[in-house]
Amino acid sequence: MEHLQPFLTSKTFFNTLTKPIGPICNIDCAYCFYLEKTKLYPQTKSFKMNEDVLEQYVCQYIAGQPADTPEITFGWQGGEPTLMGIPFFQSALKFQKKYDRLGMKIHNSIQTNGTLLNDDWGLFFHDNNFLLGISIDGPEAIHDHFRYDKKRRGTFRQVMRGLEICQKYKVEFNTLTVVQSHNGEHPVQIYDFLKEIGSTFFQFIPIVEHAYHRLMAPRLDGMIYPSKENALESNISVNERSTGPEQWGRFLNKTFDRWLKKEDIGKIFVRDFDLRLSMVMGMPSSSCVNAQTCGRESAIEHNGDLYSCDHYVHEDYLLGNIKQQSLAEMMDSEQQIKFGNDKYETLPQFCLDCDYLKYCWGACPKDRIKKTPQGESGLHYLCEGYKAFYSHTEPYFQKMAECLRMGYFAEEWKNLAALKERVPHPKPLQKTTMKVGRNDLCRCGSGKKYKKCCGHE
């Protein structure tokens, strides 16, 4: 192995998404923003992370965290990370054991399209306690609309086989659904479908694909990266696959209404809702998108190149390579601190004056491609949708938060008035004796998963 970088420790906790096979994938989803990253490495024939880089990375990711870090997660992503094969992940586990830090728990999660899962993977994930994120956009006709293979054949059936493997081997999984112009019209159908296939934790990611080429010369990877320096002078259009602001708001609101109607609070966990409830409770956002600043979520490519964020894998946002510089040093560099602070520093006045600023913080800078009504650059493309969601759901989340503060479950929100009469003086939060799943939202109202809160392993 090449010389290990010194074990520098960062001042603040950070997450790094790992791209062990770079942008290489076995399928060809129409909206994937990562496939074209091969252009960053025109000379590269194999995008497989080698053992040297893997060992450096595992060592530095563990050693680089602040002293009191209780747990970290290795997040494996792609491209399609299962293309690396099981032996690669066995090596990763071996190195995690080798560089283990006393008192620190190490978790592994993997985001996969699910199409390559078989019995061997099922057994491996189960035995090693991996949390899977399965990408699925809805029932067959909806899923196959944009998620197809290189011959344009839908991938739904393969994904369902992957899900069966998860169920057979009792592998913990979440679902990740990309919300785009097509499935954005079917929130209720998608909600019911995800429940039907046994998912209890839903994540929805809105897709905004910039139609950059009409207004700007394409950059190396064809993307634009809004920042204070290159603040866009005009509104930029998006392509036809992107979800629209109004559609995104409607999607979230209809999903929320379905969640209430089906009385799924405490049974089905929707990331946007968990996050919102925890923020209404006064907790800091656990998602960079809704935090005041960001910059603690980097991405590492197959060769050890570290970038500011998964959405900014671009030469301008390259922080360095772990073979030359330590991960912690790069995460604490001026360049990265500035990147994170810019999320707040570049907010237009329209956002600073917004009633929902404390929940939104202008959302992800990647999609701040609109002008405000006053003509200022830097407004998030989906602003209108976010506002619709915040205003529609605010009264409900306030009631849920009040229940939690009084020591009741959020699902009691409907009975709030009666509860208030019964308990004239709010009592302190109590731990529940009800059975709560490891992956469920903690009943104490922290907004964290049970396993990462009161059920801390």
Binding site for ligand SF4 (CB under 6 A): 288-289, 294, 297, 309, 311, 343, 350-351, 354, 356-357, 360, 362-366, 380, 383, 386-387
C-beta closer to ligand SF4: residue 21 or 351? 351
Q: Least distance (Å) from ligand SF4 to the CB of residue 296?
A: 7
Q: Least distance (Å) from ligand SF4 to the CB of residue 152?
A: 30
DSSP-assigned letter for residue 57:
H
Q: Which of 129, 65, 76 is nearest to 102 (CA)?
A: 65
Q: Least distance (Å) from ligand SF4 to the CB of residue 343?
A: 6
Read off the tokens for 389. Answer: 């969601």
C-beta closer to ligand SF4: residue 49 or 382? 382
- Helices 245-261, 187-196: axis angle to 10 degrees equals 50
What is the rounded distance in angstroms from the CA atom of residue 349 to the CA atom of residue 169?
51
Q: Least distance (Å) from ligand SF4 to the CB of residue 368?
A: 8
Task: Say if residues 380 and 367 touch (Cβ distance below 8 Å).
Answer: yes
* Residue spans of alpha helices (H) in 42-155: 51-63, 86-98, 119-127, 140-146
C-beta closer to ligand SF4: residue 166 or 294? 294
Starting at the edge strand that comes first in sequence, how are the strands of the sheet with 201-206 ordered?
Answer: 269-270, 201-206, 172-179, 131-135, 105-112, 71-76, 15-18, 297-300, 305-307, 318-321
Please, what is the Cα angle at 74 between 206 and 359, to 5 degrees? 40
Q: Least distance (Å) from ligand SF4 to the CB of residue 19?
A: 15
Q: Which of 234, 212, 171, 183 is nearest to 376 (CA)?
A: 234
C-beta closer to ligand SF4: residue 142 or 364? 364
Q: Which of 62, 80, 25, 49 is nearest to 304 (CA)?
A: 49
- Helices 119-127, 156-168: axis angle to 10 degrees equals 50
Strands (E), 95-235: 105-112, 131-135, 172-179, 201-206
Residue 356 Cα distances to 251, 279, 365, angstroms = 19, 11, 17
Q: Which residues are catalytic?
A: 310
C-beta closer to ligand SF4: residue 196 or 353? 353
Q: Least distance (Å) from ligand SF4 to the CB of residue 386?
A: 4
Pairing, β 370-371 against β 377-379: antiparallel
C-beta closer to ligand SF4: residue 142 or 176? 176
